[in-house]
Structure 1
Amino acid sequence: MSPSNFSNFLLVMALLVLHKRVTAQDGTIGYHGYERDALLALRKGFNNTFLDGNWTGIMCYMNDTPYWYGVQCLNGRVTGVTLESMKLTGGIKVDALVNLTQLITFSFKNNSISGNMMDFSYNRNLRNIDLSGNSFDGKISSSLVNLNSLEALQLQDNKLTGPIPGLNQPTLKTFNVSYNHLSGAIPETRALQSFGYSSYLGNENLCGPPTPTLCNTRNDVSESNGENSGDKSSNSSRFAAILVAVDVIVLVVILFLFIIYYKKYKNLKKEMKLKNLLPKDEEHDSRIAERTMVKKVPEGDQGKLVFIEGNHGVTFELDDLLRASAEGLGKGNFGNCYKAMLEGGQVVVVKRLRDLKPLNREEFMRQVRAIADQKHQNLLPPLAFYYSKDEKLFLYKFASHGNVFNRLHGDRDTRDRVPFRWSSRLAVARGVARALRHLHLNTRSQTTAPHGNLKSSNVLLDNENDEILVTDYGLTSLIALPIAAQRMVSYKSPEYQSHKRISKKSDIWSYGCLLLELVTGRIPSHSAPQGMNGVDLCGWVHRAVREEWTAEIFDTEIAVQRGANHGLLRLMQIAMRCCDKSPEKRPDISRVVAEVEEIKIGGDSEDEEYDYSSLERSLTDESLSASRSIVSGDDLR
């Protein structure tokens, strides 16, 4: 070969190599192109806007970070596809993974994908498969048996049917097929038998260990093992007969024990009624005086009342409480409340706590003492507490004038209604703000709401001067999070609804809603008692200002009072800033206290009527413009 021909040959070879590298990078030739086509086929089946915009162009190159969301690569090959909780719908073809031969991880959990399972015959490197939380149906693919490196297989919460393949990989460490429609005997392989019953729950037609259901028909046995032995069938029949006999004996024993238990229960109930420990009519226990505040517990577990230091000398024994006459005060979010009148004339409120975290005695006492250590003239700490395995109680001082919710909304349609004056409502706003400031300044954590459940029914009025007392604070340390999220006011805030976060600013939002309740006389939707309809006050007030029907905002009971105009307007402005959707834009509690303290009560005569049209003009001027940035009611729901 001449030198010139040899040079041409080298040039051609170099161009071919360069072409191969470019086309490999572009993903249009070779296995890169096949893998890209496979992923694009998956994308097409989902019709997902995000994937349509993201899965374009170069997929991955060598060991660079992959360009496509959820795709993992190694040496330019696709080794993983992870698309979890993306609300994907549609289906995946059975042969969708044929060209993804280097897959190690394949996860589509928590979507809404339907159809039959994929064939994994060409994915011998697969280690982790998670298709849980979808709507896959049909049989579990038998190709899984040949995945020798399989470490995790999670197929729970689907609609899969048929038997479980005989998986026996020694590498299999995670396995779950619970809550499907699988049937037949669980294969007696070492791998599948190493997992507990929880891996098979929710499949009524599965039998054999580790489930408690025995396989007593030849069909069950043959479906799992392919055996039709006459000897095994005969043994199975004899075993089934023995099992039936045992079941009958067990049933008789259980029935006998139930009869004994029922008789003891009736005797115990009769004894408790004689001792005035149970109400005569249990069906009306929410409406009449109730006698029992502490369940009768076995000796040794009954414990004692533990009084908090500084309880003003109030002391008595648990037996005194059991003998006290009791009046039901209502059902709270975390337990019923009772007014107990002791023989010596003392009156206390007993709150039965439920839905608590699983705390032992020491943990419970530590949390209660932390609550009781919050000393302030506008806080109502517990007087005492009681802890046993079956009962947890808080005892409080009795507030003689009830709570702000009943004072504000009660007797509205009767002649017996005593007006709730502007001066009294402003006193409530001040007292609650001071109590909240004390809680906030004495709580270091920024990721919790120091009160957590601030609402008008948790603000009490005591003695002739209507002393303001805030109660039910600090319960987030005792209540289980799922229950707290359902029932506590702070968890209704915009930040928890959108980002599942609460903070001190969540209390500020609750306080703003309380102020709006005071000035409008309307019930907020997030704290309305059961059976009552509330209003999204932040959105409602904002809409009223925007649409200029402001005459309906303020409660007419106070709007007609001379001198209340300016104070009402200032209080509502503070409330709207506290209710801002963004926690960062809400004022801190010290600033709120300062502004509320500056508000004047008004003129000397509160009975003289005020010109309502001037109040409406005040609402529509520039003084309320700062509150126009507040979000609409729909955003706060």
Structure 2
Amino acid sequence: MARTPITTILIPHPIVLFLLLLLLLLVPPSSAQPELDALLKFKASITNNAVALSDWAPPVPPCTASTANWVGLLCENGAVAALYLQRLGLEGAIDVDALAQLPNLKVLSFSGNSFAGPLPNLALLPNVRAVSFSNNKMSGAIPANAFLGMTALVQLDLDDNVFSGEIPASLAGLPALQELMLQNNMFQGGLPPFREGQLMNFSVANNDLSGEIPSGLSHLEASAFLGNKDLCGNPLLRCPYQPLQFSIGTIVMMSLVVAAAVVALVVVIVILCRRRAAPQQNNDEIAKAAVLVAHSTADPVSDPERGECPAAASQPNVRMTFLREDRDVFDMTDLLKASAEILGSGLFGSTYKAALSERQIVVVKRYRHMGNVSRQDFQEHMRRLGRLNHANVVPLVAFYYRREEKLLVYDYIDKTSLAAVLHGSRSRPGRKILDWPTRLSITKGIARGLLYLHNDLPSLTAAHGHLKSSNVILDSEQTPLLTDYGLVLIANQEHAEQHMISYKSPEYKHTGRITKKTDVWSLGILILEILTGRFPADFLKPKKDAPDADVAAWVESVARDEPDVLDADMAGEGECKAEMVKLLRIGFACCKAEVEERPDIKEAVQQIEEVKERQTVSI
């Protein structure tokens, strides 16, 4: 009887089976290898990637199922679906050819990096749905056909770059596009003819666009178009060339009226210019025109101090960002309607008083030297300042952001500056004389306000940063209030180094850095100024023949005459001299050249609080 043959089944050794499984895990499948190669090629085109993209390295694959193994990826079914490489300090030329090898790629988000040069050829990525290059350094014109074929594109964010030329016409032909953010660039020309209701989120604010707004964009808010001086049409003002239907008789009558109005306007302008050229003249209309520049564009604003006449302009409503809920809300139009006057012109810009109503008067400060701070950083810092609430700090009420300059709105205080009181003409009739109790009270108020700023703004190296007598306001009760605080973080560095008090400190001159005790040093200088009545002008504004003049020489000149250096206006208060000298010596300690030898702000304030109006005599 024949035997049925037995088939032998060979089972791999367990160790061999383990090695086979490990090999499958470590070596990516052939379908994932092209994506891995594409990502590594893309990484090679990026500079400053050593740390940010350090885990982009085999043998670990980019994706395992829907789990991303590399930073900045979003994976779906084992394939790369999105790149989220935001705020990583990346630079270089983006290799779009490499990204085109990712067939499932839908999202590119590279915002907040340092990519420069022209926009990459995004048309090589027809399946991408969202692209963001906002807050980079890209520049140049974008070709009109740059987005042809990108039928899946829903969102495009190119804001806060330096793009120029016309807005690409191919954007208007994209069937899926719903969001287009192009604000804060240098685009010129007209707007493409977008379809009615095509875009739900849109902004071209702060460019150099001109012409009539297409009807397809007329449903959007006016804020989407602000900062383009030559744009017109709904939702902005009517374009001057839009045809109106009138009879011939009406047209003739209107022509006569317009001609008469032009003649009258010329006469008024001539009269106003002559009046403004005269000294001590009311500057209401000039002030309003200067406020207007905050939402105009490249037109230079006339200089009120030179008596120049500004160009008239009509602008839509602009909403201010309010930081306090207990204030009446107003917009730029309300500011323009308000009676206004110039309060002063400083190193950062001009200050205006605007009376919106009988019960609402505000101070508008216009800052020109903060162009390097991003909108997001500026808004975040303003909200931080808006939360401050102290009896010796002028409250910040609202702000308006524009790249070239900013507006800060404060409560108006019927006031004068400490500098004006200390250094005003002593022969002027009615001059306020500060006695010792008042000077001590002012010093204590300044110290308390400064301590409050340091406690509530702990992340700032110099919470005030610009403490000087002209930035201390005295109200009708002689209560001191600090203003121009918190500017170090948002001021352009070059301008800050030239003008801000913190950057005149010994530590900055010697090490190039300011410290937490830099405000203490400024406080010490201010104490000496309050007690002596001497203005440290030679230190704050060195003369050309003494460019190295610093605080040491000024302080030594004060110390040399101690205690006879005290202001003569306090001469009749001899019984208080010991306490005056005590405060004077606290001032000396605060402005020592060596940072380690100064008290910290808390210790300095405590010492100041212990000074009394007159020496207590124990019996």
TM-score, length-scaled by structure 1? 0.47
